[in-house]
Structure 1
Amino acid sequence: MRLSELSGKEIVDMKRAERLGILGQTDLEINERTGQIQALLIPTTKWFGFRKDGTDIRVPWSRVKKIGSDMILIDVDD
């Protein structure tokens, strides 16, 4: 799958049924040697897109459970 095919998909936490963001507004952590995606870095925001505390939610790629036509389902640790 190409990165362009992932861009624009909503990222949803399966356990909480909560929308965390859109891929394209997140960062990817990539292994420089292998080129594989290691994690999604999802910025935490509050109303109107203002940063809450400047931290990111780091979701290891192994936590991505399903990539659908319009969303990515993940299983986030508490």
Structure 2
Amino acid sequence: MRLSELSGKEIVDVKRAERLGVLGQTDLEINEKNGQIQALLIPSLKWFGFKRQGDEIRVSWQHIRKIGNDMIIIDIPENEDQQE
């Protein structure tokens, strides 16, 4: 799959049934040694969509359960803190 095919997909947390963001408005954490994607870094938004400085949700690549046509489903175990 190409990065361009991922762009624009909504990121949804399956446990919370909550939309976290859209890929393309997020950053990717990439392992410099092997080039693999390690995590999605999703900015936390406050009122009216203005970004707060430094607030983001880090979603490890291993927590992605399904990449569909329109969305990416993530499942983060409750014992792991997604705020970095």
What TM-score do the two structures reach when normalised by structure 1? 0.92
**Could you tell me which amino acid in structure 2 is paired with residue 62 of structure 1?**
Q
Structure 2 unaligned spans of 5+: 79-84
Q: Is the deviation greater in 10-19 or in 41-50?
A: 41-50
| DSSP 3-state at the match of 1:5 | helix
Question: 5 Å matches for 1:1-78?
Answer: 1-52=1-52, 54-78=54-78
Deviation, 1:46, is 1.5
Calculate percent identity across the aligned residue pairs: 73
Runs of 4+ in 1 over 3 A off after TM superposition: none
Aligned residues: 78
